[in-house]
Amino acid sequence: MTDTSTYYHISRDEWKQYQNAHHLALTLQELEHLTSLNDRISLIDVQEVYAPLLDYFDIYYQKHGQIHEQEQYFLKQPKKKVPFIIGVSGSVAVGKSTTARLMQTMLQQKYPELTVELMTTDGFLWPTKDLVEKGILHRKGFPESYDMESLVNFLLDIKTGEEAVEAPVYSHEIYDIIPNEKQVIYPPDILIVEGINVLQLPPNREIYVSDFFDWSIYVDAEENLIEKWYLERFELLMERAKTQPDNFYYQFAIGDREEAIAMAKDVWKKTNLKNLKEYILPTKGRADFILHKTYGHHIDYVQVKKY
């Protein structure tokens, strides 16, 4: 449980008062394209929640530029841009991807002269064959199922200005890393890193993923609601896979529906809920900003770190 004394707890009604006069270029169709499968978000959410969020973010971004400029001047180093990295964390099925994609789109509109990139840590999961060899396929999503060394090296290369940095690509359709496919990121001004593990502090490591972050967001909701959204998403994925034999969910789509849903409930309880309680939720208090969602994915309040 987050120690709320370290955060300003701000209701949505209060938070929306902080917005400036933004010209929103997003259309409803564009917003629907950014929204995850069974997530819910409206143009009103964009105006009342995300527009003030971008103004608040700007405080950190401007300070970031000033600090690195002064540091380079003090050390008599040539001027160079240092990417600003944002971490977006939260449970499976809580809506992290929607938040990350929306942030990327709105930041690109706010700073049209900048390059804003997005990547997910799913690409740094060990391939299924490796998880099987390690005997941890049932622990997929837990800290040990990620190639953390490669993820840390990726972020180090980004932060230090490597010309082109490659990341593996994960497919939810095949439920595995896509062989021989890479996401190439050229030096960005802003990089958004989305994943359940981005705020974790795995043991036996000297450098953590979060060490590279300049700001972080945690998307939060009650466990019973996340379970509901997870099961809804599972059923939608089955529906979509009915005519796709290569899709991971095809095996469930053509089988007994009740058995498939019972299996999904078991996966939620034994894997995702366990992972949430033991490894994801304990990191919430490390986030700079918390978006809290309630029924219908409605954002009812935010929390802003005091220090």
Instruction: Name the nearest CA neighbour of 252 among 265, 266, 267, 238.
Output: 238
- 244 in a structural domain: yes
Residue 11, annotated as binding a ligand: no
- 36 in a structural domain: yes
pLDDT in tens, the chain (307 residues): 455 589 999 999 999 999 876 666 788 888 888 888 888 899 899 999 999 999 999 999 999 999 999 999 999 999 888 999 999 999 999 999 999 999 999 999 999 999 999 999 999 999 999 999 999 999 999 999 999 999 999 999 999 999 999 999 999 999 999 999 999 999 999 999 999 999 999 887 889 999 999 999 999 999 999 999 999 999 999 999 999 999 999 999 999 999 999 999 999 999 999 999 999 999 999 999 999 999 999 999 999 999 8
pTM of the model: 0.94
Q: What does the pLDDT read at residue 3?
A: 52
Task: Give the burial class of 239: count Cβ atoms within 10 A of its Cβ; 0-12 exposed, 13-18 middle, 19 or more buried.
Answer: exposed
Identify the DSSP state of 1.
-
279 to 1, 15, 80: CA distances (angstroms) = 12, 29, 36
The single-letter code of the amino acid at 240 is: R
- 19 in a structural domain: yes
Residue 95, annotated as binding a ligand: yes
If one counts the domains in the chain, the total is 1
Residue 304, annotated as binding a ligand: no
The single-letter code of the amino acid at 226 is: I
115 to 163, 214, 259, 295: CA distances (angstroms) = 14, 16, 46, 35
Residue 182, annotated as binding a ligand: no
- 72 in a structural domain: yes
- 1 in a structural domain: no
Q: What does the pLDDT read at residue 203?
A: 81
Residue 189 tokens read as: 């001004």
Residue 145, annotated as binding a ligand: no
Bridge-based pairing of strands 215-220 and 176-185 is unpaired
Residue 94, annotated as binding a ligand: yes
Q: What does the pLDDT read at residue 28?
A: 85
Residue 277, annotated as binding a ligand: no
- What's the pLDDT tens digit per position in 34-46? 888 888 899 899 9
Q: Could you list the beta-strand ranges (E) of the chain.
A: 7-11, 84-90, 116-120, 165-171, 176-185, 190-194, 215-220, 289-294, 298-305
Instruction: Name the nearest CA neighbour of 105 among 203, 169, 32, 182.
Output: 32
Q: Which residues pair with 298 in a beta bridge?
A: 294
- What's the pLDDT tens digit per position in 195-210? 999 999 988 788 999 9
- 46 in a structural domain: yes
- 225 in a structural domain: yes
What gap in Å lies between CA 212 and CA 47, rounded to an integer?
Answer: 29
What gap in Å lies between CA 213 and CA 184, rounded to an integer?
Answer: 20
Residue 91, annotated as binding a ligand: yes
The string of DSSP letters for 41-95 reads --HHHIIIIIHHHHHHHHHHHHHHHHHHHHHHHHTTPPP----EEEEEEE-TTSS
Return the CATH number at 260: 3.40.50.300
Instruction: Name the nearest CA neighbour of 99 among 223, 282, 221.
Output: 221
The range of the structural domain enclosing residue 72 comes to 7-77+86-305
- 2 in a structural domain: no
